Amino acid sequence: MDAAFWHERWQRGEIGFHKASTNPLLQRWWPQLGVDAEAPVWVPLCGKSLDLIWLRSQGHPVRGVELARSALESFSDEHGLDLQWQTEGEFEVAEGAGFTLYCGDVFALRPEHLQGIGAIYDRAALIALPPEMRARYVAHQRALLPAGWRLLLVTLDYPQEQRPGPPFSVSDAEVRQLYADCSIEVLEEKDVLADHAVFASQGMRSLTERVYLIAD
């Protein structure tokens, strides 16, 4: 799960995690966060997700981080955005049209990158990381965020032995351990295996998708 793994996935077009439409879970549950329209939103491991466009359409300045520059360049090209690139420390940064997108290692982020963030949307970050990285990722991000943040988190939960990740299985118990001192509410929980024929063909017998509202 090093940088080369993800660069190779993007170069070979193995991006099954990229969705061709806005995530309906985001559209359904985002209002529950009660975030001011002008509040900046943070999207970790954002790729070229259409969810970025939807969040911006709601009025939010959108910031994200992504390891593969090709993903951010595709995002800019596919939506006709005139994003300007510059180098800031360890990151290459694409900025414009209400977006600030950092290309680099999520663990290299510093407090100034998340200054003023009001909410976080995580559909593809936590489940992209193996178990040994997840606790480090959550602890690092929480150390950078200003007080009062709210998180819309989407996870997948299945018997990990039935297939290798990513996406990795993240149990409800693990979410509650990672965010033990936070307010945690399950907004939606259902088995979605029928919607993922590839996973079913790999021998999976269940696939539970959960949506959480987590608050500092």
- Cα–Cα distances (Å) from 156 to 2, 87, 153, 189, in that order, read 21, 35, 10, 10
Average pLDDT, the chain: 92
* Strand-pair partners of 119: 41, 150
- Cα–Cα distances (Å) from 108 to 30, 63, 86, in that order, read 28, 15, 17
What is the per-residue pLDDT across 203-213, written as a single tens digit (0 to 9) for each?
888 999 999 99
Residue 215 pLDDT level (bands cut at 50, 70, 90)? very high
Q: Which two tokens stand for residue 133?
A: 């990285």
Q: Which two tokens stand for residue 111?
A: 């407090």
Buried b / exposed e over 76-115, threshold 16 CB at 10 Å, is: beeeebebeeeeeeebebbeeebbbbbbbebeebeeebbe
What is the per-residue pLDDT across 146-172, written as a single tens digit (0 to 9) for each?
999 999 999 999 999 988 888 999 999
What is the per-residue pLDDT across 112-146, written as a single tens digit (0 to 9) for each?
999 999 999 999 999 999 999 999 999 999 999 99
Closest CA to 215 of 170, 155, 156, 152: 152
pLDDT at 204: 86
Q: How far apart are CA 17 and CA 124, in angstroms?
A: 8
pLDDT at 163: 86
In three-state secondary structure terms, 210 is strand
Q: How far apart are CA 75 and CA 11, in angstroms?
A: 15
Residues 170 and 126 sit within 8 Å (Cβ to Cβ): yes
Q: How far apart are CA 111 and CA 215, in angstroms?
A: 19
Q: What is the pTM of this model?
A: 0.92
Q: Is the pLDDT confidence value at 18 over 50?
A: no
Q: Which residues contact 166 (CB under 8 A, 6 or more apart)?
A: 1, 17, 127, 128, 129, 130
pLDDT at 129: 93
Match 């969705």 to its residue by tokens.
Answer: 19
